[in-house]
Structure 1
Amino acid sequence: MAGSVRTTLYRWHGGLAASEFATYIRHYLSSLEKHDEIIIFSDGCTYQNRNAVLANPLQQFASSTDNVVQHKYLVRGHSHMDVGNSHSLIEREKKGRSINVPYDYVQLMKSAGKSPCPFTVHYVTHDFFMDFSEVCPYTSIRPGKKTGDPTVTDVYYYKYTPEDNNGRKPIQYEMRFSEEWQDISVPGGFASKKVGEPKQLYQERLEIPKTKYNPLQALKAVIGKE
């Protein structure tokens, strides 16, 4: 997550599960001061940014903090994000630097952010992540339900709002920028969906897969013994 004022980076050596991305975003939002409205921009990758695993914690955040959160998706081929500038700074900082272990990247990322806007870098471990897949009153955020209906890739953006006077916590969407907001329905209604606290996603450190372990051993010939 990055911007012209503040850049926050997360470093993790594990996988690409939807709950991992949901944990990053939920953690970042929790660090912000109170706002009436928060807008998130991201690409349209479905397993990262367009799924119920992320949508539910965003909705719970909106409800618990009385914020409105809008999640907008970039239009392919017509968009640019400030985070690209941060990545460019890191790539320039990496030139001529020796990287032997993952923590070297953390130090490099910190040094890439110059004053007056240094980068905040979180080097997270397995116990940082929460499993949001089991805390899902919304089992789907797809606008349509049958073959031929719109899918999540047709949505331009979602809006997450605090609980209304009827006890609903609606997620709304727009298919085009000029359309009216529409509600995502919850099968069985909210009363049938009991939401608890998410559990830890990982109970122990992740093992290094063999396909990665063997090349790491080969690196011993070219990196310092320490």
Structure 2
Amino acid sequence: MGQKVGKCYLWHESTAKRGANEVASCVYDFIKDQSSKGVQTINLYSDNCGGQNRNRIVFMMYLIAAKKFNVNISHKFLEKGHTQNENDSIHALIERSSKNKEIYTPDQWFALVRWAKDTGNPYIVKEVSIEDILDFKKLLAGKNWTKDERNLKVMWSRVREIGRRFKT
């Protein structure tokens, strides 16, 4: 946010869906990219969408990424009704840029997003291919994600923040 850089991950519907594995794969790529630049702490914020952001598939990816890239990862979920964030301004600008334009192909969307900004650096567009989608869901087999260390039921919909202690 401080550098005013927007990175957008785009794919078309014949490549993949818009579920937890797809979102986790994009965030994983982002974490990998940031760690390669020397970033050691990654703070993420999102809305409360359970299907895409707040779920055990994304949490499993954080465990893997933190260990593999040796970074601290924190993910905070914004309070319901107060979930507008920096990404929303990116989305709004893309929507305004697409208004009154006829777009027929995914490549046209990629170009529109890349050049939606009038000032500053263009958005970075990662054109996601099927090879970029990793299967984090399969790594959950045999793992208990319903009880905590005190054997109490985990209420995933009430989780407000995860992370900070992932780094090894």
Offset, 1:117 = 2.6
Query: Is the 1:56–1:138 Cα contact (8 Å) retained in structure 2?
Result: no
TM-score normalised per structure 2: 0.83
Unmatched 5+ stretches in structure 1: 164-226
Query: Is the 1:40–1:70 Cα contact (8 Å) retained in structure 2?
Result: yes
Matched, 1:26 2:28: yes
Distance in 2 (CA, whole Å) between partners of 1:59 and 1:141 is 17
- Equivalent residue for 2:167? 162
For this pair of structures, how many residues does the alignment match? 160
**Per-residue CA distance 1:19-63 (angstroms, 9 max, x = gap):** 111101000111112233211101111121122211112112112
Structure 1 residues 125, 23: CA separation in 2 closer, same or farther (over 3 Å shift)? same
Unmatched 5+ stretches in structure 2: none
What do you get for the CA RMSD once the two structures are aligned?
Answer: 2.3
Query: Is the 1:51–1:141 Cα contact (8 Å) retained in structure 2?
Result: no
Offset, 1:113 = 2.4
- Equivalent residue for 2:64? 60
- Equivalent residue for 1:13? 12
Distance in 1 (CA, whole Å) between partners of 2:132 and 2:83 is 31
- Equivalent residue for 2:156? 152
Paired residues for 1:53-202 under 5 Å: 53-136=57-140, 138-140=143-145, 143=148, 149-159=153-163, 160-163=165-168
Offset, 1:86 = 0.7
Structure 1 residues 3, 88: CA separation in 2 closer, same or farther (over 3 Å shift)? farther
Distance in 2 (CA, whole Å) between partners of 1:30 and 1:91 is 28
**Per-residue CA distance 1:1-23 (angstroms, 9 max, x = gap):** x7761101111123123211110
**More divergent stretch after superposition (122-131 vs 66-75):** 122-131
Structure with the larger RCO, 1 or 2 (CA within 8 Å, 6+ apart): 2
Distance in 1 (CA, whole Å) between partners of 2:57 and 2:145 is 9
Distance in 2 (CA, whole Å) between partners of 1:17 and 1:44 is 14
Q: SS in structure 2 opposite 1:130? A: coil
Q: SS in structure 2 opposite 1:99? A: coil
Structure 1 residues 31, 74: CA separation in 2 closer, same or farther (over 3 Å shift)? same
Distance in 2 (CA, whole Å) between partners of 1:12 and 1:61 is 22
Offset, 1:65 = 2.3
Distance in 1 (CA, whole Å) between partners of 2:138 and 2:80 is 31
**Per-residue CA distance 1:154-177 (angstroms, 9 max, x = gap):** 1110015123xxxxxxxxxxxxxx
**Per-residue CA distance 1:119-158 (angstroms, 9 max, x = gap):** 0111222222111112238542765866xx4511111100
